[in-house]
Amino acid sequence: MSLVNIKIDGKDFQVESGLTILEAARKCGFIIPSLCAFNNGKCSRASCRVCLVEVKGARGLVASCVYPVAEGMEISISSSKAVEARRASVELILSNHHKNCLQCEKNGHCELLEVSKMVGARDHMYEGEQTPATIDELAPGLIRDTSKCILCGRCIERCKEAQGISILGFENRGFQTIVSPVGNRSFATSPCLQCGQCVNVCPTGALMEKSEIAKVDEAFKAGKKVIVQTAPAVRAAIAEEFGEKIGTPGTGKMVAALHRLGFYRVFDTNFAADLTIMEEAHELLDRIKKGGVLPQITSCSPGWINYLEYYAPELIPNVSTCKSPHMMMGAIIKTYFAKHHDLDPKDIFVVSIMPCTAKKYERQRSQMPDDVDAVLTTRELARMIKRSGINWAKLPEEEFDPDLLGDYSGAGVIFGVTGGVMEAALRTAYYWLTGKEYGKIEFHEVRGQEAIKEADINIEGTVVKVAVTSGMKNAKVLLDQIKEGKSPYAFIEIMCCPGGCINGGGQPYVKPLFLVNEDDNILETYRAKRASVLYKEDGRQVIRQSHNNKDIQKLYKDFLGEPGSELAEELLHTSYSSDREKYPESK
Amino acid sequence: MVKIKSSEELIQKHEAEHKCLDKKFHCEPGKKAIVVCGGTGCLSSDSREILERFHHLIKEHHLEDKVTANIVGCFGFCSQGPFVKVFPEDTLYTKVKVEDCEEIIEKDIMDGKVVERLLFVDPLTHHKVAQQHEIPFYKLQKRDIALKGNAEINPEDINEALGQGAFLALNKALHMDPQEVIDEVLKSGLRGRGGAGFPTGRKWQFAHDVKCDEKYVVCNGDEGDPGAFMDRSIIEGNPINVIEGMMIEGYAIGAQNGYFYIRAEYPVAVARLKNAIKQCEEMGLLGDHILGTDFSFHCHIRLGAGAFVCGEETALLNSIEGKRGMPRPRPPFPAVKGLWDKPSVINNVETLANVPYILLHGSEAYASIGTEKSKGTKVFALGGKVNNVGLVEVPMGITLRQLIFDIGGGIPNGKKFKAIQTGGPSGGCLTEKDLDTPIDYDNLIAAGSMMGSGGAIVMDEDNCMVDVAKFYMTFICDESCGKCSPCRIGTKRCLELLTKITDGKGTMEDLDELKSLANVIKSNSLCGLGQTAPNPILSTMNAFYDEYVAHIKDKRCPAHVCKNLMQYKIIEDRCVGCGMCARNCPASAIAKTDIVPVGKSESMPLRVHRINPDNCVKCGLCIANCRFGAIIKD
């Protein structure tokens, strides 16, 4: 990599060539405010016009997010011309922004607010007509508010780059331009996966998860037994909401907070992840033995299930019929657990804390009984903790409740990261095929953040070809192979969000603007950092295979019988719709 | 069609066709040729029917051996169309109707007499003018570079184009090294005719220097300025000239494919271009191994997406690729990463139409026309408050006065010239003091406007300059693509301020804000559309600041245009009490008073009328119906 010499505001620096001014400036200790670009990155749009700087010799101001550095370049970030230009762009954006900041759920994470402070935007500098607030709240997982949208285009790019489906695009032109699903439709009447990746990148409150906190409040008020379960990925990121560095484990404090919030039981969805492995590995071996449809594809990601039904319904026979872990958990709580404690399932209210917005949709699927009553994202849980006056910093570490569903294995923990379900399944499949545990325990072949990972797993002579992918744009490659009859795999893990649940659409925002103490390339490293939390927790567990989970063994012995039993089928498996309309008549 | 496979065959074909053309224009004794204008303007005034009528009459009178009739491109003098021209006398008939054809055939073609009543009448001298080159509108023009062939050859027949020398320039280029071709264009001083005036040769050089197997040339025919139709007429009149220009460019930069991006609203231009491409392909003049060389070239047409911004070159590239027409940030520049991420050059239609002339006659001949830094000719669509409305091609360096008063014939109805708007929504207004400025790229910019693509709208004392600025801002607000915030929101805020001012609610602070906002949009916007969008505001504020102030301080529109700042009034002394105004008022805002009109007897029922300002909708019908000049705008 070659280096170039540049000058920023009179200071000399040496940076890698090929960087944009924005990237280079960040590395040199400057933060140029930006809205359409993450302010440590590249941009393909240069549309917000907030990151303008002066470059000696260039015609006019340049957008630092697209302008590459060059040898001898003299950049001025702090010249009055550049400062005033950046401020003016922000002031214009503010003149068409619904500024109910005090009530806005994005407050605290709003880049527009932060950038306004940075550039010193003046009050009501420009005023006039504003884009009317058409609020799309028909979809179970997502809310879109046009009056807060600043048309930065990040969501459009994320949808296209992560999922390859481009649900969002620009509609109309000029001042009437909005970002919306085609034809100004609702998310609910478009083939949207509800994955929430768009929410993660939105700099303002224009895209948000649909909060279900009020529902949980109601349940408490109604005197229900409110049982909470937390997905593995939540613990890998929740500490970020309280100012801790990315990659800080939050398990113990999170459990302590949940106890303080008054939940009847605090369970770990990992228990159900182990249960999923029991069922899914059984299903896989069954298919292999009986010559069933292969490759089998995992089913725990509801975003992926949406993609399946909208874009690849012909592959439904390939997909495991297992419910996702939290839905299994809900089913077991309302049957096995309720029975054991002599509770009426109607009095139980199950809340799932998930890294995911699609889970909000999933629990409402017509194929799903009402086993889970509310789904909160990691961010929503943080909001509940904050509003309850709990000081995260001073929380002790506490354990999940060891009541029937309390045990969990290391295999369950790694469900939250791409490759985790595969690895957990392999640990159990190995045992079932050979009658002994895999000596090395870990299958590193399926770990890592690559787009598509393939491995030949040799189980004492039997070679099982597997593949792991995340992000539907990547998954499409594997799905197309199956459609063409060319897939060499027996088992494929697909997670909708790139990197798996640790990067789910309900996870804490990763916005370099606010993360000044993190690495400059945090957008490239945060997934691995979060993943490491889960792999470390797995490593610390005594029990690391799902089939060795004592409470799981007891569940089968006392209640379900065998994996794949009739009761297991009824409670733990589901079906998919092959005729889901992409653009139904509006509701 | 017989294929032309080599230089020699091309030259033979040219010579044969040239003879045919020559015969047509300088007919053998007793023979005549009729041509009918086939520009969009004349077509919409039935010129196609006129041609058919001629064909019918020729048959009826058994004149097939004596006279031919065909369509040609635009004559340019659109306010006088449809045109019919008769060779060899070169008689030009104007405002011809279908029912006039019989007289032309019987009197002119059969009897050899001129149909006097259809000749052009000079509005100044009231003399009838029989021949085109005698009409003042044409006298100062040089219509043989960009408009070459217009109004002469049949744009639907490649043979006539070949007769006029089509592809001879390409043939010459193919005998040169690509770099020599670029050098020739560089030396000619040709600058982009689409607006900014970037040296064409340099653009070519950039793309030439990028190493890549696949490159593209793109012709920008998405002409969108209000009132501009240069590109349309060039394509309609001589599509092959533009194709040839594109091929020379393709050869120079190393491209094998060219895309024409033409407004979908130009069906005639598109049809003629399609037809021309087809004929070129049939003759082997487009395709593989053109004229037996290694040069292969293919032309494709894409229709415009109906947005002004698609004329911006990077938005245009997106549109060709099937994406929403939104500009791309630069760098990377299209010459490096253009159409489908390949090196591409985008040139305007008129620019390409200049290229064959440069190659054929040499850069020196071309550079001898024009000013020091602006060479060649420029086509303008002259419109607005000017007597001779139409399309003109003039050498660079002609003054605005010559353009408006000599070619344009001055301002109608004896009104006073106020301003000329050039450069469309990106340009500005030039005034009296600029009239003697020679027109070239740099002079126009120095004077606060720009060349633009060639729209030239003349305004007189009845035009309110604040209203003019508002008109262009409304246009830009509608046409902003919505991508970047300064343009999307800034132009809206400008329009809101201008509306406030023309509504009489503006303050002097608004004026300051308008100016600072205009400068923000200029410096912060992403593409040329936004960067130039405030020009109409800045230039009118610069030249007509007093008018803005009058709207704000005096709550008065000096030109009586802004409806909220103006009232219709009946002058009592002049009103004869006829009641025509009241009868025609759609809002019942005019009523009789008790006053007896001056000079009328009380016994008569006539009474002076008065307008109730609360009911008046300011439509102007009363003024139009008053025969006594008793109603004024105040």
Query: With contact defined as beta carbons under 8 Å apart, do B90 and B32 qualify?
Result: no
Q: Which residues of A touch B (CB under 8 A)?
A: 43-50, 52, 60-61, 63, 66-68, 81, 85, 88-89, 92-93, 95-96, 126-129, 150-151, 153, 169-170, 172-177
Model confidence over B426-451: pLDDT tens digits? 899 999 999 999 999 999 999 888 98
Per-residue model confidence (pLDDT) at position B30: 80
Rounded Cα distance between B232 and B43, Å, is 13
Last residue of a domain, one of B553, B588, B611: B553
Q: State whether B171 and B73 are in the same domain.
A: no
Q: State whether B353 and B482 are in the same domain.
A: no
Model confidence over B380-403: pLDDT tens digits? 999 999 999 999 999 999 999 999
Chain B residues within 8 A of A95 when measuring between CB atoms? 489, 493
CATH number for position B248: 3.40.50.11540
Q: State whether B441 and B397 are in the same domain.
A: yes
The C-alpha angle with vertex A564 and arms to A468 and A269, in degrees rounded to 5, equals 60
Rounded Cα distance between B609 and B596, Å, is 10
Chain A residues within 8 A of B329 when measuring between CB atoms? 43-46, 63, 66
Last residue of a domain, one of B511, B531, B553: B553
Closest CA to A493 of A549, A540, A426, A441: A426
Range of the domain at B361: 163-367
CATH number for position B393: 3.10.20.600
**Domain total of chain B:** 5
Sign of CA dihedral B137, B142, B148, B149: positive
Report CA-CA distances (Å) from B62 to B52, B327, B489, B512.
15, 59, 67, 74
Contact A63 B526 (CB under 8 A): yes
Q: State whether B119 and B53 are in the same domain.
A: yes
CATH number for position B541: 1.20.1440.230
Q: Which residues of B touch A (CB under 8 A)?
A: 307, 309, 324, 326, 329-331, 477-486, 488-493, 496, 513, 517, 520, 523-526, 531
Model confidence over A111-161: pLDDT tens digits? 999 999 999 999 888 999 999 999 999 999 999 999 999 999 999 999 999
Q: What is the mean pLDDT of chain B?
A: 94
* CB half-sphere exposure, A381, CA atoms < 13 A: 39
Under DSSP, the state recorded for B141 is: -
Q: What confidence category does residue A266 fall into, taking pLDDT thresholds of 50, 70 and 90?
A: very high
Closest CA to B363 of B167, B165, B189: B189
Q: State whether B114 and B250 are in the same domain.
A: no
Per-residue model confidence (pLDDT) at position B194: 86
Rounded Cα distance between A64 and A82, Å, is 11
| Percentage helix, strand, coil for chain B under 3-state DSSP, each rounded to 5 | 45, 15, 40
Specify the length of chain B in residues. 634
| pLDDT average, residue stretch A244-259 | 97
Per-residue model confidence (pLDDT) at position A3: 96
- Parallel/antiparallel/unpaired status of strands A207-209 and A142-145: antiparallel
Per-residue model confidence (pLDDT) at position A428: 94
Interface test with B, best of A47, A83, A116 (most B CBs within 10 A): A47
Rounded Cα distance between B49 and B109, Å, is 19
Contact B489 A126 (CB under 8 A): yes
Q: Residue B397: left if φ>0, alpha if ψ -120 to 50, beta else—which one?
A: left
| pLDDT average, residue stretch B496-520 | 96
Rounded Cα distance between A173 and B42, Å, is 34
Helices B349-361 + B178-188 axis angle, to 10:
100
Report CA-CA distances (Å) from A96 to A93, A369, B487.
6, 44, 13
Structure tokens at A32: 């140029």
Rounded Cα distance between A561 and A408, Å, is 19
Per-residue model confidence (pLDDT) at position B119: 95
Q: Which residue of A has its CA nearest to B484?
A: A47
- Tell me the three state secondary structure of residue A64: coil
Interface test with B, best of A49, A59, A115 (most B CBs within 10 A): A49
Query: With contact defined as beta carbons under 8 Å apart, do A54 and A61 qualify?
Result: yes
Of B330, B477, B493, the CB nearest to A126: B493
Q: What confidence category does residue A430 fall into, taking pLDDT thresholds of 50, 70 and 90?
A: very high
Q: State whether B611 and B624 are in the same domain.
A: yes
Report CA-CA distances (Å) from B328 to A19, B333, B492.
18, 9, 22
Per-residue model confidence (pLDDT) at position B345: 97
Chain B residues within 8 A of A89 when measuring between CB atoms? 485-486, 520, 524
Rounded Cα distance between A414 and A420, Å, is 5
| pLDDT average, residue stretch A219-223 | 97
Q: State whether B388 and B345 are in the same domain.
A: no
- The answer as to whether B529 is a domain residue is yes
Per-residue model confidence (pLDDT) at position B396: 96
- Tell me the three state secondary structure of residue A104: coil
Per-residue model confidence (pLDDT) at position B46: 95
| pLDDT average, residue stretch A246-254 | 97
Chain B residues within 8 A of A96 when measuring between CB atoms? 489, 492
**B441: closest CA of chain A, how far (Å):** 18
Per-residue model confidence (pLDDT) at position B227: 86
Which residue bears the tokens 């725990």? A300
Closest CA to B477 of B308, B315, B325: B308
Rounded Cα distance between B277 and A317, Å, is 52
Q: What confidence category does residue A570 fall into, taking pLDDT thresholds of 50, 70 and 90?
A: very high
pTM of the predicted structure, to 2 decimals: 0.93
- The answer as to whether B624 is a domain residue is yes
Which residue bears the tokens 């409670």? A571
CATH number for position B104: 3.40.30.10
Rounded Cα distance between A520 and A39, Å, is 10
Closest CA to A381 of A229, A546, A541: A229
- The answer as to whether B200 is a domain residue is yes
**Residue A492, phi then psi, degrees to nearest 5:** -130, 135
| pLDDT average, residue stretch A231-245 | 97
Indicate if the pLDDT at residue A188 is higher than 60: yes
**Residue B608, phi then psi, degrees to nearest 5:** -60, 140
Q: State whether B201 and B292 are in the same domain.
A: yes
Rounded Cα distance between B536 and B522, Å, is 12
Closest CA to A138 of A308, A384, A360: A360
Q: What confidence category does residue A586 fall into, taking pLDDT thresholds of 50, 70 and 90?
A: low
Structural domains of chain A, with CATH: 3-89 (3.10.20.740), 95-211 (3.30.70.20), 214-572 (3.40.950.10)
Report CA-CA distances (Å) from B362 to A332, B180, B366, B454, B550.
88, 12, 7, 25, 54
Per-residue model confidence (pLDDT) at position A459: 85
Structure tokens at A38: 């993450």
Q: State whether B128 and B200 are in the same domain.
A: no
- The answer as to whether B145 is a domain residue is no
Interface test with B, best of A89, A91, A146, A204 (most B CBs within 10 A): A89
Helices B508-524 + A80-95 axis angle, to 10:
110
- The answer as to whether B351 is a domain residue is yes
Model confidence over A15-25: pLDDT tens digits? 999 999 999 99
Contact A93 B489 (CB under 8 A): yes
Amino acid residing at B441: Y
Q: Beta-carbon neighbour count of residue B439 at 10 Å?
A: 26
Of B307, B326, B489, the CB nearest to A175: B489
Interface test with A, best of B318, B475, B485 (most A CBs within 10 A): B485
Q: Which residues contact B484 (CB under 8 A, 6 or more apart)?
A: A46, A47, A48, A49, B524, B525, B526, B527, B530
Q: What confidence category does residue A211 fall into, taking pLDDT thresholds of 50, 70 and 90?
A: very high
- The answer as to whether B18 is a domain residue is no
Q: State whether B452 and B469 are in the same domain.
A: no
Q: What confidence category does residue B1 fall into, taking pLDDT thresholds of 50, 70 and 90?
A: confident
Under DSSP, the state recorded for A470 is: E
Contact A61 B523 (CB under 8 A): yes
- Tell me the three state secondary structure of residue A289: helix
- The answer as to whether B441 is a domain residue is yes
- Tell me the three state secondary structure of residue A274: helix
Indicate if the pLDDT at residue A86 is higher than 60: yes
| pLDDT average, residue stretch B619-624 | 93
Q: What is the mean pLDDT of chain A?
A: 95
Q: What confidence category does residue B592 fall into, taking pLDDT thresholds of 50, 70 and 90?
A: very high
- The answer as to whether B16 is a domain residue is no
Model confidence over B146-191: pLDDT tens digits? 999 998 999 999 999 999 999 999 999 999 999 999 999 999 999 9
Closest CA to B169 of B241, B222, B267: B241
Contact B326 A95 (CB under 8 A): no
Per-residue model confidence (pLDDT) at position B495: 97
Contact B480 A68 (CB under 8 A): no
Q: Which residue of A has its CA nearest to B495?
A: A128
Model confidence over A371-400: pLDDT tens digits? 999 999 999 999 999 999 999 999 999 999
- Tell me the three state secondary structure of residue A582: coil
Structure tokens at B377: 């000719």
Of B330, B483, B488, the CB nearest to A175: B488
Chain A residues within 8 A of B479 when measuring between CB atoms? 173-174
Q: State whether B96 and B61 are in the same domain.
A: yes
Closest CA to B148 of B74, B259, B41: B74
Indicate if the pLDDT at residue A290 is higher than 90: yes
Contact B484 A46 (CB under 8 A): yes
Closest CA to A189 of A135, A134, A138: A138
Q: State whether B383 and B360 are in the same domain.
A: no
| pLDDT average, residue stretch B79-98 | 93
Rounded Cα distance between B80 and B95, Å, is 5
Count of pairs with CB atoms under 8 A, one residue in A, one in B: 105
User: Residue B284 burial (CB < 10 Å; 0-12/13-18/19+)?
Assistant: buried
**Residue B384, phi then psi, degrees to nearest 5:** 90, -140
Contact B480 A169 (CB under 8 A): no
CATH number for position B577: 3.30.70.3270
Interface test with B, best of A17, A73, A171, A175 (most B CBs within 10 A): A175
Assembly ipTM? 0.93
User: Residue A358 burial (CB < 10 Å; 0-12/13-18/19+)?
Assistant: buried
Specify the length of chain A in residues. 587
